[in-house]
Chains A and B, each alone.
Chain A
Amino acid sequence: MSDPSSVILLLLMGIPLLFGSVFVFFSQTTLRRLFFLMLTIQSVGLLSLFLLGDHDFATPLVFFNEVITFSISTIPTILFILCLAGLWLLAWQHRLPLAFFPARVHAIFISVALSAGCLAFYSGQFMMRYIALEVVGLLVALTAIVSFANLIPFGVIFLILRLGDLSMLAAILILYQPARTLDINTMITQAALMPLNSQAWVLAGFLFAVIVKVALFPMGGWLQIARENKQFITIWISAILMPAMGYYLLYRIVPIIQYRAAFQIIIMALASALLLAIMLVSYLRVVPFTPFMVVNSVLSAMAILLAAYLAPGLLALYLLFILSGRIGLLYLERVQVSLPPLGSALLLLALHTAFLLAGRQQLPMPAIIAWMSMTVLASAWLFVMGQRDLTTKTLQEVFVQPEERMPLTLFTYKIAGWLYHQLEMGIFHDGLVKVRDGFIQAADWIYTNIEGGIENTWTKLGSGLIRISKSALRREEDVSNKANEGIHQALRTINKQEIQTAAKEIRWDLIWIPVVLIVILVYMMTG
């Protein structure tokens, strides 16, 4: 606890929050200075962490009966340093006031995100990382709010990210069950002992979370929406920090993938399928994604493919490469420079071949084939894509004028169209709205039918009882009326006599009758 690296880490987490709360009180110029000060401190801290090397330590804080621990290691540090470098780039590039608009809120968002990033990269507990991911997810969604008039971007982003978070939570909790601890290393080790069924669930949960976090097709829609306001510096959170966290998560779950050969094959197949799908869809220009999105998707899918077989060290290297690629692309996009198509394709090919050569010992033959073919495909695709001007035609035009299509068979085109409509459109653009509407419709239906039905049953039960009660009342009244009708007249007469009798005076001359009766009674009783 007292050694330098732990102190530095805690400071790294604390200082941005401190700055974030101070930001409220300053004007625009001071704010910017403070912001850069914070960035500098963060960078220096991270670099010193990197230099001090690996270190595990525990804090006196407790979360659910478990001591909160941190583990500092090189790979997350490098990832985080890369992220920070991206932030530097973005911050330097835009000195315009626009970049900080509305300055305070965005600065605060970034400081919170920095703090949460530390938690996500260094925490020894899965739950802490989950919390950090949730917080960052919320920040991403918040940055998408442009005006008070429209909350839909926020809602969509929040929902998608939440879905990923929840699947991750499910995976964590399934892991928690045998491990009885939230410590990441123990949990991952324990996962080896779990039955296949549980392992599959865990893997599915984590993988889905990764796919969402790195904005991979078909769950990348949130990033597309978040990029609507890409002139803001907060794009850093959604475009760089969040995927970086996703990559790191992928890096951590590699052991689970590699526990079983079946998982490896499935993951490889899945990644290849995703890769092909995204290439096809973007090649046919049916996706309104920008090149940034598409390239990122392709690279991320390659990373997942690699994760199936590659050793963690090499994978980490590849992840660093993708992340820097992401940052570079984002920067280029913002400065509106496009890469030469041939150069970039060759670069991709070269890099991937290098990776293949480095990892050839670990990869089995099918993986090498898949890897190589995918690389070639991706490079070719990049080249072709670079040749095209993506901005000239809108989506509708492509569909409306089939003769201007690229020379491809109608069949492939249809597949791509189907993929696009079902997966991409189906899940995001209309789909999410549709799902939500569907829920609302279902809810409406249940509300009117089932809820109303139950309500009606109760009401009917009650009214049935009342009806029985009423009909019985009526019948009884009928009977009693009929019975009473007959004796009505007789009663009148009796009444009259009764009244007359009551009106009469006591006849004292008849007093002897009761007297005699009493005498007889007394006689009888005394025997």
Chain B
Amino acid sequence: MEGNIAVILPIVILMGGALVIYVLTRALRLSNKIEALLAILVLAGALAALLNLVQPLNDLANINDLFYGSRQPGGILFFPNIVGVYIGVIACFICLFICAYSGEYLSRDPRFLLFYPMILLTIAGLLSMFFAADLFNLFLMAELTTITGSALIAFRFTKEEAVKAGFKYLVMSSLGTMTMMLGIYFIYRGTGRLYLTEIASMTNDFTRIGAACFLVGFSIKAGVVPLHTWVPDVYHHAPSAVSGLFAGITSKSMLFIMPMIALQLGMTAQELGLYLMVFASFNMLVGVIRMLTQQQLRRFLSYSSIAQTGYLMFTLGIGYYYQLPSAYAAGLYLLSIIAFMKCLAFLTAGNYEYRFGTGNINQLMGANRLVPLNAFAFSTALAGLSGIPLLAGFTGKWLIFTAALTAGDAFAIAGLVIFLVCTVIGSIGYLPMLVKQYQRSRANLKSLEKNQLTVTSTLWIGVPVVVLTLIVIVTGVFPTPWINLIENVVSLVAAV
């Protein structure tokens, strides 16, 4: 074991923090809120450690010294990269809100103490997948996210659907990791190596088969159509905070790991781009069409999430197929804003359920009278997702258009047409959802008032929702700093 300890510091903080939190809470019988605070502390530490990595990563001369692990056969090796750090920062940032939110949201759950460690472990696994420079490590971390993920999904284990959803995720996601395992087998057979940097210089047909296996594996974890069937169940039945985390960042960031691995395994950028663009159109169409009939807020959001995965894939696909860094930057921007908007949407939808015990939009008619702020935040998130100007989503839409039109050939334009159609159909889906909260229905309002589970919301829920709403609005109006940041990231990637 050698190298710069700063590289694995964020991962260590997250993993260790998970353990410490669990033990402390269990031992001292701390309350849910305290544990949430502790988790926030850990996340803040991890954030600091991640930001600490930015400076060394900018130092291009010494970039090869920035690693941690052992280069012996069978040893594990971490190579940080700027995209991973960027996504890690966003993930940690979002988890801050999720943990704070859960401080109130989980107050009725007796088993809260497992929740925060699991969240931390998921983030740690995600980060490690980005940093992992050897295939074994990658597989291991993928398994880690699978297991923690399914545990989180089945968190409300008294509910049958939740357990089913967790099981479904476990099965499908394991299928993904098993495919990856198969890929690793092929690669090892072809090259006898597990280090990606070494394999990159000796690619052959075996590694290409392996790359294909990895592609499938990541596609399952990202929810690419037709491997998306876990998505609606999971996002609907998992705790809303978990859905926000998954829909917002974990599943979508797989789309960024996928090319990192596949390109080093001998797959060409064109092939990858083609794959992404073709399946992107399926994702977009399936997502928006299925979205239309949903009554359950979270099921609706999960289909919209599938569509958004499609948008993301489309942008990245253009980036790879036509070698456009601007499209890649657009993809990163899209990922970040979708993370915030989706997280906000799930948190507010969860708040409806927490408050009224129902997530059915028809039963929530007129809810804005009782929870005006929540209704406003939810509509902001939905409006943002549907790409209404002056909210974050519009800049994303603009960037997708720009990417497709810069590419400019018939293939990209065809994709753009599908994207346009989907945007229109999508707005058919979003608009009623947006409006129905504000529809006056006296009978419904009475029954809502009667069935309230809690009457007041505390700052634990209020602060994350308000901050996220502000982020969505402010990013929409002034996207400049953010786009600057992403352009720096992309220029760094291009330089490496």
Contact = CB atoms under 8 A, between A and B. Distances in A.
A–B: direct contact at CB < 8 Å: yes
A491 B289 contact: no
Contacts, number: 54
B290 interface: yes
Interface string A444-477: 0000000000000000001001101110110010
A409 to B, nearest CB: 72
A506 B24 CA distance: 12
Nearest to B299: A473
Contact of A506 (B27, B111, B157): B27
Given A476-B229, A480-B233, A502-B111, A527 B1 contact: yes
Contacts of A525: 1
A469 B232 CA distance: 14
Contact of B1 (A476, A479, A526): A526
Nearest to B113: A502
Contact of B164 (A462, A484, A498): A484
B428 interface: yes
A495 B1 contact: no
Interface-centre pick from A470, A472, A473, A526 (highest chain B CB count, 10 A): A473
Interface in A468-527: 468-470, 472-473, 476, 479-480, 483-484, 487-488, 491, 494-495, 498-499, 502, 506, 514, 524-527
Interface string B211-247: 0000000000000000001001100000000000000
A210 B293 CA distance: 65
A282 to B, nearest CB: 66
A317 to B, nearest CB: 72
A293 B178 CA distance: 101
A483 B157 CA distance: 18
B167 interface: yes
B372 to A, nearest CB: 31
Nearest to A483: B168
B292 interface: yes
Contact of A491 (B26, B167, B232, B286): B167
A483 B169 CA distance: 13
B111 A469 contact: no
B65 interface: no
Contact of A524 (B1, B26, B27, B293): B1
A479 B229 CA distance: 10
B163 interface: yes
A476 B157 CA distance: 23
Nearest to A494: B163
B233 A495 contact: no
Interface residues of B, number: 26
Interface residues of A, number: 27
Interface string B281-298: 000001001111100000
A527 B292 contact: no
A494 B154 CA distance: 12
A276 B164 CA distance: 96
Nearest to A472: B290
Contacts of A499: 157
B55 interface: no
Contact of B293 (A470, A483, A495, A498): A470
Contacts of A491: 160, 163-164, 167
A495 B163 contact: yes
B292 A469 contact: yes
Task: Report whether over half of chain A's contact residues are helix, strand or loop; otherwise say mixed.
Answer: helix
B268 interface: no
Contact of A527 (B2, B158, B233): B2
Task: Report whether over half of chain B's contact residues are helix, strand or loop; otherwise say mixed.
Answer: helix
A502 B22 CA distance: 13
Contacts of A465: 289, 292, 425, 428
A502 B114 CA distance: 10
Contacts of B164: 480, 484, 487-488, 491
A476 B233 CA distance: 10
A526 B68 CA distance: 11
Contacts of B111: 502
B292 A495 contact: no
Contacts of B292: 465-466, 469
Contact of A487 (B158, B167, B290): B167
Nearest to A462: B428
A469 B163 contact: no
B70 interface: yes
B221 to A, nearest CB: 19
Contacts of B289: 465, 468-469, 472
Interface string B90-115: 00000000000000000000110000
Contacts of A476: 229, 232
A494 B290 CA distance: 33
Interface string B158-174: 10100110011000000
Contact of B290 (A469, A483, A498): A469
Contacts of B157: 495, 498-499
A495 B160 CA distance: 9
A469 B293 CA distance: 6
A516 to B, nearest CB: 14
A520 to B, nearest CB: 13
Contacts of B2: 527
Nearest to B16: A518
A525 B425 CA distance: 53
Nearest to B26: A506
A306 B447 CA distance: 89
A476 B19 CA distance: 39
A483 B110 CA distance: 29
A59 to B, nearest CB: 53
Nearest to B303: A469
Interface in B390-427: 425
Contacts of A462: 428
Interface-centre pick from B26, B70, B110, B290 (highest chain A CB count, 10 A): B290
A161 to B, nearest CB: 49
A110 to B, nearest CB: 60
Contacts of A484: 164, 168
A495 B158 contact: yes
B186 to A, nearest CB: 28
Interface in B294-339: none
Interface-centre pick from A514, A524, A525 (highest chain B CB count, 10 A): A525
Interface-centre pick from B232, B293, B425, B428 (highest chain A CB count, 10 A): B293
A510 to B, nearest CB: 13
A502 to B, nearest CB: 6
A491 B233 CA distance: 16
A468 B289 CA distance: 7
Nearest to A485: B164
A484 B158 CA distance: 16
A525 B168 CA distance: 35
A527 B68 CA distance: 12
Contacts of B160: 488, 491
Interface in A237-253: none
Interface in A314-328: none
A223 B164 CA distance: 87
Nearest to B72: A527
Interface in B14-34: 19, 26-27
A509 to B, nearest CB: 14
A468 B110 CA distance: 41
Interface string B25-68: 01100000000000000000000000000000000000000000
A219 B428 CA distance: 55
Interface of B: 1-2, 19, 26-27, 70, 110-111, 157-158, 160, 163-164, 167-168, 229, 232-233, 286, 289-293, 425, 428
Given A466-B293, A480-B168, A483-B168, 5 more contacts: A473-B290, A487-B164, A491-B163, A498-B157, A502-B110
User: Across chains A and B, which 8 residue pairs bring their CB atoms closest together, nearest first?
Assistant: A527-B1, A469-B293, A469-B292, A484-B164, A469-B289, A491-B163, A525-B1, A470-B293
14 contacts: A465-B289, A465-B425, A469-B289, A472-B290, A476-B229, A480-B164, A483-B168, A484-B168, A491-B167, A495-B157, A502-B110, A524-B1, A526-B1, A527-B70
